[in-house]
Structure 1
Amino acid sequence: MRAFYHKNHHQNPIYILERYLSSASGIMAYLVVVDACFVT
Structure 2
Amino acid sequence: FSDGGVHSHYKHLFALLELAKKQDVKQVYVHAFLD
- TM normalised by structure 2 equals 0.48
Q: Of Structure 1 and Structure 2, which has the larger fraction of its residues in helix?
A: 1
Greater gyration radius: 1
The higher relative CO (CA closer than 8 Å, separation ≥ 6) is in 2
- TM-score, reference length from structure 1: 0.43
